[in-house]
């Protein structure tokens, strides 16, 4: 899958604020989704995502995006990849769009 498209999708859905994106929407495992959200947040594209751990040695078992917000840098990412906007389908056909 195209990582730029996945990041675009995450940022777009957070910006819209209509739907909470899940790892299954992107055809990713929870671990892949967690790592990507962690990276996006570390890169300052979003803020407010929560990756709670169930213990010191246990990996994150959930990703909470309900309080996530897109940052200025995230908005710039969307603008720089605006070509995706022409074909972006929203959540309904997202898995198919990511494969193209």
For residue 53, what pLDDT is reported? 72
For residue 55, what pLDDT is reported? 64
- Number of domains the chain is built from: 1
d(CA 80, CA 93): 23
Tokens of 26: 């992107």
**Per-residue pLDDT tens over the stretch 14-69:** 999 877 889 999 999 998 999 999 999 999 999 999 988 766 666 667 898 999 99
Residue 87 belongs to a domain: no
**Under 8 Å CB-to-CB from 93, ≥6 apart: which residues?**
none
Residue 96 belongs to a domain: no
Residue 19 belongs to a domain: yes
Residue 92 belongs to a domain: no
Residue range of the domain that includes 43: 3-79
What CATH number is attached to the domain comprising 32?
1.10.10.10
* 16 touches 75 (CB < 8 A): no
* 47 touches 69 (CB < 8 A): yes
d(CA 82, CA 76): 10
Residue 89 belongs to a domain: no
d(CA 23, CA 29): 6
């Amino acid at each position: 899958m195209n990582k730029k498209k996945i990041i675009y999708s995450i940022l777009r859905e957070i910006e819209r604020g209509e739907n909470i994106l899940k790892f299954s929407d992107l055809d990713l495992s929870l671990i892949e989704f967690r790592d990507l959200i962690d990276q996006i947040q570390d890169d300052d594209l979003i803020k407010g995502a929560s990756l709670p751990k169930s213990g010191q040695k246990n990996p994150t078992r959930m990703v909470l995006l309900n309080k996530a917000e897109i940052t200025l840098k995230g908005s710039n990412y969307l603008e720089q990849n605006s070509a995706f906007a022409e074909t972006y389908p929203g959540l309904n056909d997202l898995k198919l769009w990511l494969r193209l």
